[in-house]
């Protein structure tokens, strides 16, 4: 038996290459090559090397996942949390308010264009819009009593008016589309 100097595998006496790692055991004339096994090299088979590389990849993936999950905001940090009685536990990341003023009855649809909140009222009203993840806010308000007064709508973000529109038409309708 011929022991491979690279991996230590016991090969048959007439083997030219190691059956485990394909290391050259004899030269072209059949003379055995005597080499000193290096202690600092990768003296392992291909299968062990593949398992080691896959293990490193899996550990890297797990570390990346842990860091990613730690860096993400919790559900309560990124959304408005509203209790059953309607009180806010925490403000949203993008707090918007809609302010409607009219000396008569009105109807409005407000919020995300795909999820509008419907409100109706008389006189003035201010409504907090839950829009933490929206890219666009829409307000569509209309007079319900065909009155002559001014229907005024404001979109407020963090206490500042970012969009405003009004009408005095008896069939008045006010639309605000705000992209941020």
Residue in 53, 180, 166 with CA at minimum distance from that of residue 102: 166
pLDDT band at 24 (very low <50, low <70, confident <90, very high): confident
Whether the predicted pLDDT of 2 surpasses 60? yes
Tell me: domain 81-179, CATH 2.60.120, correct?
Answer: yes
H-type alpha helices, 72-133: 75-78
CB atoms within 10 A of CB 92: 19
Average predicted confidence (pLDDT) for the chain: 79
What is the distance between the alpha carbons of residues 26 and 15, in angstroms, rounded to a whole number? 8
Q: What is the pLDDT of residue 86?
A: 47
Q: Where are the alpha helices (DSSP H) in 15-153?
A: 46-71, 75-78
Q: Select from 137, 148, 47, 157 the least CA-distant residue to 92.
A: 157
Q: For residue 117, list its beta bridge partners.
A: 110
The answer to whether residue 95 scores a pLDDT higher than 90 is: no
pLDDT at 39 over 70: no
Are 88 and 81 in contact, with CB atoms under 8 Å apart? Answer: yes
Q: Helices (H) and strands (E) in the chain — how many of each? A: 2, 12
- Domain boundary assignment for the chain: 1-41, 43-72, 81-179
């Amino acid at each position: 038996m011929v022991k491979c100097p690279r991996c230590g595998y016991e090969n048959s006496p007439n083997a030219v290459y190691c059956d485990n790692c394909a290391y050259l055991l004899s030269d072209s004339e059949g003379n055995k090559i005597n080499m000193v096994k290096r202690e600092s090299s990768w003296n392992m088979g291909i299968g062990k090397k593949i398992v080691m590389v896959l293990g490193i990849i899996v550990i890297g993936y797990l570390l990346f996942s842990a860091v990613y999950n730690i860096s993400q905001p919790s559900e309560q940090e990124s959304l408005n949390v509203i209790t059953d009685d309607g009180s806010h536990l925490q403000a949203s990341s993008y707090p918007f308010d809609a302010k409607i003023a009219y000396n008569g009855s009105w109807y409005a649809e407000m919020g995300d264009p795909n999820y509008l909140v419907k409100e109706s009222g008389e006189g003035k009203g201010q409504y907090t819009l839950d829009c933490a993840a929206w890219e666009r806010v829409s307000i569509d308000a209309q007079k319900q009593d065909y009155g002559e007064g001014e229907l005024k709508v404001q979109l407020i973000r963090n206490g500042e008016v970012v969009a405003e529109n009004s009408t005095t038409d008896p069939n008045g309708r006010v639309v605000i589309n705000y992209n941020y």
